[in-house]
Structure 1
């Protein structure tokens, strides 16, 4: 990728790296960027597997959108659309959801999992932390399955 980005706030972290907001210099558009330390060979292998899975799953409305990746001297960066809160945080903030809302969330997640399985991908880490809400005003049917770092072919 030959675009330049401005690094912003950190929005998450995991075993293999961290997720920050980045801003594309030319457009001002913001993305989520998962950064993995290149000195950790196992983490880099997982990241390349994640990239492969995200490329295979492009285009589904309930799967996080992959926008490319790039490397610098220290890190491998995976660029994805910036989404809102994760479902776990949302539920902690708002409490249990009524059955109709829960059904819309579940339908979206099942739709994403069905596409994963059609394309021979196992997510292997489905949990509320990995289900993202696009924005506060969006309906639950627009949640997105994220974090394909543990995914595998089958």
Structure 2
């Protein structure tokens, strides 16, 4: 890991207002990963991930990820059959920035693994249920404000 684990944990507290970290562990993918990453456990029970790019290519990838994450509204997220991390903050580190998101546990799978295993993707019972349809929904208002809140991987919404 190019950057010390505790440095990234401390940086996360600067990126997310009020964050108090009680535990941290390396989450970098092998020694040759494109990012330095640390999984954080906060005192309020949240699990977060801070990632800092190691290369210019990784920084470009991170910028594209940020644009995509910020474009996903709660309504869009509620319709997805999988969890998407929520952007929580960012802080400068050298010439780049570190980004803090929710941590979503899981395993990395290659396209070959997904197509070779008949159990992937998971059955619909393992996925989050879709949001409640609104009887008054139109193309201008696809999400019903009277519907119960959607289920979400984030404990903040449960």
User: TM-score, normalized by length of structure 1?
Assistant: 0.45
Structure with more of its chain in strand, by fraction: 1
Larger radius of gyration: 2
